[in-house]
Structure 1
Amino acid sequence: MNLLQRKEEAIIRKLKSGINNTKEAKKNILAKREKLNENAKQRMDQVELNQEFKVKELREKSIKKAKHAKTVRLRKDINLDDLDPV
Protein backbone atom coordinates (compact mmCIF):
# COMPACT_ATOMS: atom_id res chain seq x y z
CA MET A 1 0.00 0.00 0.00
CA ASN A 2 2.83 2.35 0.84
CA LEU A 3 4.49 1.76 -2.54
CA LEU A 4 1.20 2.39 -4.31
CA GLN A 5 0.73 5.68 -2.44
CA ARG A 6 4.23 6.83 -3.38
CA LYS A 7 3.58 6.01 -7.03
CA GLU A 8 0.31 7.94 -6.93
CA GLU A 9 2.02 10.90 -5.25
CA ALA A 10 4.79 10.81 -7.85
CA ILE A 11 2.21 10.83 -10.65
CA ILE A 12 0.35 13.70 -8.99
CA ARG A 13 3.61 15.68 -8.61
CA LYS A 14 4.42 15.12 -12.28
CA LEU A 15 0.96 16.27 -13.30
CA LYS A 16 1.17 19.36 -11.10
CA SER A 17 4.61 20.25 -12.43
CA GLY A 18 3.29 19.75 -15.96
CA ILE A 19 0.41 22.11 -15.21
CA ASN A 20 2.81 24.67 -13.76
CA ASN A 21 5.09 24.30 -16.78
CA THR A 22 2.09 24.78 -19.05
CA LYS A 23 1.13 27.97 -17.21
CA GLU A 24 4.68 29.27 -17.53
CA ALA A 25 4.75 28.34 -21.21
CA LYS A 26 1.49 30.21 -21.78
CA LYS A 27 2.89 33.27 -20.01
CA ASN A 28 6.05 33.09 -22.12
CA ILE A 29 4.06 32.70 -25.32
CA LEU A 30 1.84 35.66 -24.44
CA ALA A 31 4.88 37.78 -23.58
CA LYS A 32 6.57 36.87 -26.87
CA ARG A 33 3.39 37.58 -28.81
CA GLU A 34 3.04 40.96 -27.11
CA LYS A 35 6.66 41.80 -27.87
CA LEU A 36 6.23 40.79 -31.52
CA ASN A 37 3.09 42.91 -31.80
CA GLU A 38 4.93 45.87 -30.30
CA ASN A 39 7.84 45.40 -32.71
CA ALA A 40 5.45 45.13 -35.65
CA LYS A 41 3.70 48.32 -34.55
CA GLN A 42 7.04 50.13 -34.31
CA ARG A 43 7.97 48.94 -37.80
CA MET A 44 4.63 50.09 -39.18
CA ASP A 45 5.09 53.49 -37.51
CA GLN A 46 8.55 53.75 -39.06
CA VAL A 47 7.21 52.79 -42.49
CA GLU A 48 4.47 55.40 -42.11
CA LEU A 49 7.03 58.07 -41.21
CA ASN A 50 9.18 57.08 -44.19
CA GLN A 51 6.17 57.30 -46.50
CA GLU A 52 5.25 60.73 -45.15
CA PHE A 53 8.84 61.88 -45.68
CA LYS A 54 8.86 60.53 -49.25
CA VAL A 55 5.55 62.24 -50.04
CA LYS A 56 6.88 65.51 -48.65
CA GLU A 57 10.09 65.12 -50.64
CA LEU A 58 8.17 64.37 -53.87
CA ARG A 59 5.88 67.34 -53.25
CA GLU A 60 8.89 69.64 -52.85
CA LYS A 61 10.46 68.27 -56.05
CA SER A 62 7.25 68.78 -58.02
CA ILE A 63 6.96 72.35 -56.72
CA LYS A 64 10.56 73.01 -57.81
CA LYS A 65 9.85 71.55 -61.25
CA ALA A 66 6.69 73.62 -61.59
CA LYS A 67 8.53 76.82 -60.67
CA HIS A 68 11.28 75.98 -63.13
CA ALA A 69 8.78 75.23 -65.90
CA LYS A 70 7.03 78.52 -65.19
CA THR A 71 10.26 80.50 -65.52
CA VAL A 72 11.15 78.65 -68.72
CA ARG A 73 7.74 79.49 -70.19
CA LEU A 74 8.15 83.12 -69.20
CA ARG A 75 11.57 83.25 -70.83
CA LYS A 76 10.18 81.76 -74.02
CA ASP A 77 7.33 84.28 -74.04
CA ILE A 78 9.71 87.22 -73.81
CA ASN A 79 11.25 87.79 -77.18
CA LEU A 80 14.59 89.54 -76.87
CA ASP A 81 14.13 91.30 -80.21
CA ASP A 82 11.02 93.09 -78.93
CA LEU A 83 12.93 94.74 -76.11
CA ASP A 84 14.23 98.26 -76.57
CA PRO A 85 18.00 98.48 -76.70
CA VAL A 86 19.46 100.39 -73.81
Structure 2
Amino acid sequence: MKMSYDVQVEELGANRRGLVTSEEGRAIVEFMKTSRANMCFEYDDEAEAKRRASAVMNCCKRLNEEGGKEVIKYAKRGNKIYVIKVTE
Protein backbone atom coordinates (compact mmCIF):
# COMPACT_ATOMS: atom_id res chain seq x y z
CA MET A 1 0.00 0.00 0.00
CA LYS A 2 1.25 3.46 -0.87
CA MET A 3 0.62 6.33 1.56
CA SER A 4 1.15 10.01 0.76
CA TYR A 5 0.79 13.16 2.83
CA ASP A 6 0.17 16.84 2.04
CA VAL A 7 -1.05 16.07 -1.47
CA GLN A 8 -3.35 18.29 -3.52
CA VAL A 9 -6.92 17.10 -2.99
CA GLU A 10 -9.30 17.04 -5.94
CA GLU A 11 -12.67 18.70 -5.47
CA LEU A 12 -15.14 16.09 -4.24
CA GLY A 13 -18.92 16.13 -4.16
CA ALA A 14 -20.14 15.95 -0.58
CA ASN A 15 -23.50 15.41 1.06
CA ARG A 16 -24.67 17.12 4.23
CA ARG A 17 -22.55 14.83 6.39
CA GLY A 18 -19.42 15.65 4.41
CA LEU A 19 -19.25 12.21 2.85
CA VAL A 20 -18.40 11.80 -0.81
CA THR A 21 -21.44 11.07 -2.94
CA SER A 22 -21.41 8.71 -5.89
CA GLU A 23 -21.63 9.80 -9.50
CA GLU A 24 -25.16 8.40 -9.53
CA GLY A 25 -26.04 10.38 -6.41
CA ARG A 26 -24.86 13.65 -7.93
CA ALA A 27 -26.81 12.88 -11.13
CA ILE A 28 -30.01 12.16 -9.15
CA VAL A 29 -29.70 15.43 -7.21
CA GLU A 30 -29.35 17.31 -10.51
CA PHE A 31 -32.25 15.31 -11.99
CA MET A 32 -34.51 16.41 -9.13
CA LYS A 33 -33.94 20.05 -10.13
CA THR A 34 -35.38 19.41 -13.60
CA SER A 35 -38.94 18.88 -14.82
CA ARG A 36 -38.14 15.44 -16.28
CA ALA A 37 -40.21 12.49 -15.04
CA ASN A 38 -37.59 9.73 -15.03
CA MET A 39 -34.00 8.80 -15.80
CA CYS A 40 -32.06 5.61 -16.50
CA PHE A 41 -28.54 4.46 -15.61
CA GLU A 42 -27.31 1.81 -18.04
CA TYR A 43 -24.28 -0.32 -17.14
CA ASP A 44 -22.08 -2.70 -19.12
CA ASP A 45 -23.52 -5.77 -17.42
CA GLU A 46 -26.06 -6.86 -14.83
CA ALA A 47 -23.39 -7.48 -12.17
CA GLU A 48 -22.24 -3.86 -12.30
CA ALA A 49 -25.85 -2.65 -12.11
CA LYS A 50 -26.35 -4.82 -9.04
CA ARG A 51 -23.26 -3.31 -7.38
CA ARG A 52 -24.33 0.28 -8.16
CA ALA A 53 -27.96 -0.24 -7.09
CA SER A 54 -27.08 0.40 -3.44
CA ALA A 55 -25.68 3.85 -4.30
CA VAL A 56 -28.92 4.72 -6.10
CA MET A 57 -31.04 3.29 -3.27
CA ASN A 58 -29.14 5.27 -0.61
CA CYS A 59 -29.45 8.52 -2.54
CA CYS A 60 -33.18 8.02 -3.13
CA LYS A 61 -33.72 7.16 0.53
CA ARG A 62 -31.79 10.25 1.69
CA LEU A 63 -33.70 12.58 -0.65
CA ASN A 64 -37.06 11.05 0.36
CA GLU A 65 -36.22 11.59 4.04
CA GLU A 66 -35.51 15.27 3.35
CA GLY A 67 -39.10 15.60 2.18
CA GLY A 68 -40.58 17.53 -0.67
CA LYS A 69 -43.56 17.34 -2.97
CA GLU A 70 -42.02 14.53 -5.04
CA VAL A 71 -41.03 11.04 -3.93
CA ILE A 72 -38.24 9.20 -5.72
CA LYS A 73 -38.67 5.53 -6.64
CA TYR A 74 -36.15 3.30 -8.35
CA ALA A 75 -36.21 -0.06 -10.11
CA LYS A 76 -33.45 -2.33 -11.40
CA ARG A 77 -34.12 -4.32 -14.56
CA GLY A 78 -31.21 -6.26 -16.02
CA ASN A 79 -28.30 -3.90 -16.60
CA LYS A 80 -30.43 -0.76 -16.10
CA ILE A 81 -31.55 1.20 -13.05
CA TYR A 82 -34.53 3.51 -13.49
CA VAL A 83 -35.20 6.50 -11.23
CA ILE A 84 -38.76 7.89 -11.28
CA LYS A 85 -40.32 10.99 -9.71
CA VAL A 86 -43.74 10.37 -8.20
CA THR A 87 -45.85 13.35 -7.11
CA GLU A 88 -47.95 12.64 -4.05
Is the TM value for this pair above 0.5? no
Greater strand percent: which structure?
Answer: 2
Larger radius of gyration: 1
Specify which structure has the higher proportion of helix. 1
TM-score by length of 1: 0.25
Give the alignment's TM-score, normalised by structure 2.
0.24
